[in-house]
Structure 1
Amino acid sequence: MTPFTFNTTPSLRMGAGLARQLGEIVKPICGENILFVTDPGMVANGLVGPVVNTLRAAGLRVTIFDQVQADPPEAIILQAADMARHVSGVVGFGGGSSLDVAKLAALLAASGQPLAEAYGIGNAKGPRLPLVLVPTTSGTGSEVTPISIVTTGASEKMGVVSPLILPDVAVLDPELTLGLPAHVTAATGIDAMVHAIEAYASANPNNNPVSRALAVEALRLMGRVLQRAVDTPGNIEARSDMMLGSMLAGQAFANSPVAAVHALAYPIGGHYKVPHGLSNALVLPHVLRFNAEAAPLAYAELLPHVFPQVSDTGVGDAAVKFVEGMAALSRACGLPQNLRDVGIEKEALPMLACDAMNQTRLLVNNPRPVDEAAALAIYEAAW
């Protein structure tokens, strides 16, 4: 067996209604003076108020930072870190962007390290403040990943990758995802499935049996319930399976990193502010088709776990049917299918292809090499 490393969040707590016990969970970990990191949407939809009340009822002093933006820019990270210098611990509450900001606020406040020096793999310096993460979508898996993504400049994304930013505890309450709009459920769900697919097929030398097993279970769970979660937003069983699947996929790709789907999705989000999950969904089938021509085995192996009702005649056929099944699932969930549907002009495709080449951290993990010409062809197919 090839040597590998597997890191994950040391403690996970999952259960419907667990957010109502958040004060009891947070206090022994974070102390009595908390920075609560979230976004304006969470405040507006009424989720923040009751949760903050549970923290205060446990005797905690809570300062709220609710200015997180999607694809957070450096300025937001630095604002949150400045506020975190005056507290004993940090709670991140929301989607992936809020959790990513909370991770870096906890790191930068305690370490004093400049953000610019933390970018890359293994460059972050400790210590960090105590940290609890509470996801409210089933998509990014950020609660179990040692990764925070930051928008630098106008559109480029960079990552801080270090086990230091794994939280002390992740609290998963599927009730927090009840009633999410269908398009958000669909896009975040496809995003989570992409995490598992790319982790399973990753060419990274740390691709390992633990990550692959987690990816398979994540896809088995989410493949059978994603459309149900989209169509019946109050279905707690479907929401629970999606939240568990998203977390398992996060553990998988945290250790067997993602590849070209994410590399090609990032410029779409950076330039056109398309949500991350939807950006992934738009390029997913086209990247998978490109990969399946040269490396079909991984996708063939995944077919019976995600689409057990589909028969095949061999590895090549199974890989094709897996790719088409994922494309059909995206369509059935009501997501846009083409780049032009989200306002991207055909003339912009060469620029996107050029920018995708900056994502070397991800492209090296793809099972088939992707150069700029290949990236352009994938974008053209997606357009």
Structure 2
Amino acid sequence: MTPFVFNTTAQIVSRPGASSDLPVLAGSLLGDDILFITDRGIRALQLEQPILRALQHSGATVTVFDAVEADPSLDTLQQATETARSIGCTGVVALGGGSSMDVAKLVALLAGSGEDIDRVWGVGNAKGPRLPLVLIPTTAGTGSEVTPVSIITVDGEEKRGVSSPLLLPDIAVLDANLTLSLPSGVTAATGIDAMVHAIEAYASKNANNNPMSRILAVEALRLLGSNIETAVFDPDNIEARGKMLLGSALAGMAFANSPVAAVHALAYPIGGSFHIPHGLSNALVLSEVLRFNAADSANGSYLRYAELAPHAFADLTAAAEPRDLCATFVNRLADLSVKLGLPARLRDVQIPRNALSKMAADAMKQTRLLVNNPRELTEADALAIYRAAW
């Protein structure tokens, strides 16, 4: 049996309404001076209010940092870290999508350890310790609540990451009630994002691709594929919302240990340069990257995609010829994005064709992701994929 290491969040609480019980779940862990990290969209919806009231009623002092933006910048991270240090922070809570959770992870690390961010970029460079950390997702997509990765935008465009088991939170709270207010477009894009996590984890070339990640990826795709349309078109369906949230977390556990690859590498320049949301960025290049990988029989990715097909789309049969099943799987993923109302092509989100060459060059900087791709990908390949997706 191939050796592997599997890390995940120490405790996961999954229950509608669980976020309002945070003092019971984590009060002794977080301490008396809590930094609460979120964004202004969450504040406008007042999703944070029941949680803040519960924490304050328990006697904690809570400082809210709500300046997190999509694709959070290094400046935002530094502001949040300084806020944590200035209040003598004893614990960090994040409520929101991947951006708020990514900022919270690094704030807990930097404020807890005193480390310099420039020394922790990359894989395994963080030393710790970190402050106690609780993550509460409001989207079913990033899986950030169970991953050891944080992505920050540097110098306006470059996506730079920190990967370390230290970034895994102490507790993740999956409260499906918090996802009921998500607009349909966000539900669709984040749901596709979670599906990408499962697909790339299952087919990853990483040496730590392991049986646990593959099992989780399969169950994630089953939950996501069978519930994403209901969640988009019947948004008050709490059962579908809960299954999407669980599917997202399972996919997060999978790719946290069997890392993602070229879909994400090519998605990052789309988000970094054109501020397209991460889930949609993934959706825009997904089918073309999978076609590129599957075209080379030697890497075996077409077999992996064929294995996943019946789990994502229950009407497909595993008895079909693998090549045909792989092709159907890729086409069905592309059709699903359109059915959910997402833009289908790069030009549909106002990306000009003359930007594709720079995007290809930028994608090649994502070496920590590209090494996991089943098929080696060059800058010329990246450009060809962007052109096909344009």
CA contact (8 A) 2:226 2:314 kept: no
Tell me how large the CA RMSD over aligned residues is. Answer: 0.8
Q: Which residue of 2 aligns with 1:297?
A: 303
- Structure 1: distance between partners of 2:80 and 2:168: 17
CA contact (8 A) 2:148 2:167 kept: yes
- Structure 2: distance between partners of 1:97 and 1:109: 18
Which residue of 203, 206, 218 maps to 2:205? 203
Pair 1:261 & 2:267 matched:
no
The normalised TM-score by structure 1 is 0.99
- Structure 2: distance between partners of 1:306 and 1:154: 36
Which residue of 116, 126, 135 maps to 1:124? 126
Q: Deviations over 1:185-220 (max 9, x none)?
A: 000000000000000000000000000000000000
List structure 1 segments (4+ residues) > 6 angstroms apart after TM superposition. none
Structure 2 regions of 5+ residues with no counterpart?
Answer: none
- Structure 1: distance between partners of 2:350 and 2:24: 46
Q: Secondary structure at the match of 1:159?
A: strand
Structure 1 regions of 5+ residues with no counterpart?
Answer: none
- Structure 2: distance between partners of 1:244 and 1:323: 24
- Give 1:3-42 correspondences, 5 Å limit: 3-42=3-42
- Give 1:90-129 correspondences, 5 Å limit: 90-129=92-131
Q: Which residue of 2 aligns with 1:58?
A: 58
Q: Deviations over 1:123-178 (max 9, x none)?
A: 01101001111111001000000000010112000100000111011111000000
- Structure 2: distance between partners of 1:168 and 1:313: 43
Q: Which residue of 2 aligns with 1:349?
A: 356
Q: Which residue of 2 aligns with 1:361?
A: 368
- Say which is worse superposed, 54-63 or 336-345, in terms of deviation: 54-63
Pair 1:376 & 2:386 matched:
no
- Structure 2: distance between partners of 1:219 and 1:255: 17
Q: Deviations over 1:30-67 (max 9, x none)?
A: 11210000011110111122221111112111000000
Which residue of 314, 328, 333 maps to 1:326? 333
Q: Secondary structure at the match of 1:335?
A: coil
Q: Which residue of 2 aligns with 1:227?
A: 229
- Structure 2: distance between partners of 1:313 and 1:13: 39
In the TM superposition, residue 293 of structure 1 has moved relative to its aligned partner by 1.2
- Structure 1: distance between partners of 2:181 and 2:113: 38
- Structure 1: distance between partners of 2:83 and 2:74: 15
- Structure 2: distance between partners of 1:270 and 1:216: 30
- Structure 1: distance between partners of 2:142 and 2:320: 34
Corresponding letter in the other structure for 1:9 = T
Q: Which residue of 2 aligns with 1:306?
A: 312
